[in-house]
Structure 1
Amino acid sequence: MFQGFPGSGKSYLGSALAKQARQHRYRAHYIRMPDLEESWASARDRPAGREKWLRKYAAFTLLVIDEWLLDTPTDDTRTMLLELLERRYDATSTVFCTQYAKKDWHQRLGGGVHADAIMDRIVHNTIWIETGEVNMREHTAAAN
């Protein structure tokens, strides 16, 4: 889990981790949460699309999801996340890049049973890396 302020390097670290994993011949994929949701929505229109989609994303040895919980997920997205994380649990690695502290996740996931189940599959075996409070984009712009 890479957690920190905007511009603190979360996306850079997640992307670099996926790239390095691919160079070592691991099946790795980096995707932004909005793109993951869009991909899931488009899978609905294909025959057996959602099952194929779940198999594809569950099979990555490393899946990096950036912009985690930037927007509150819909019911359909929560269902997808629960199924995807259940398939990946204890079998593969998932990295989340987020601005939000763990204490805010339950509410951002919409509360309730789905939020409980999603968090249960994430928080117990997670390594948390705080990327800090410095916005490197702002810092670099001010230096120029």
Structure 2
Amino acid sequence: MEACKQYFNTKYVRLPDLLIDLETAWTDGNYKKVMAKYANPVVLILDEWLLLKPTNSEQRDIFELLHRRRKKSSTIFCSQYAFEEWDEQLDGGDSPLADAIIDCICPRQLSNKYHKH
């Protein structure tokens, strides 16, 4: 709310809606434009984060979005799950893509206790 009061470009979206939007954009040929709609706001609020387990193609979209936002903007994750449970929602932590998504959110140097070595 404070970001909005400060006139930061802020966008709210439910993760399921974002994933449907990106899938449709891929089919329609305007993926880059729709991805930019979510990648460019200074603050992005992702509601229902990992409420449903994403498919492999949805995980690729999530990674691409978070990679584009990394180090230049803020992302707020609203989830029913604790951070430590996110790997289970992303293929049980057995996927390199799942590890890359978590690393975009919380780099390894900040979260050594989370990452399995």
TM-score calculated relative to the size of structure 1:
0.69
Q: Does 1:77 align with 2:58?
A: yes
Whichever structure has more strand as a proportion of its residues is 1
Q: Does 1:117 align with 2:106?
A: no
- Measure how far apart 1:69 and its partner are: 0.6
Structure showing greater relative contact order (alpha-carbon pairs closer than 8 Å, 6 or more residues apart): 1
Aligned length: 107
State the structure with more CA Rg.
1
Given residue 122 of structure 1, which amino acid in structure 2 is its aligned partner?
Answer: I
Identify which of 51, 58, 64 aligns with 2:32.
51
CA RMSD of aligned residues (A): 1.6
Q: What pairs with 1:1-144 in structure 2 (closer than 5 Å)?
A: 17=1, 20-47=2-29, 49-110=30-91, 111=93, 112-124=95-107
Deviation readout 1:29-67 (Å, 9 max, x if unpaired): 1111111111111112223x1111122211000000011
* SS in structure 1 at match of 2:32: helix
- Measure how far apart 1:24 and its partner are: 2.4
Which sections of structure 2, spanning at least 5 residues, go unmatched? 112-117
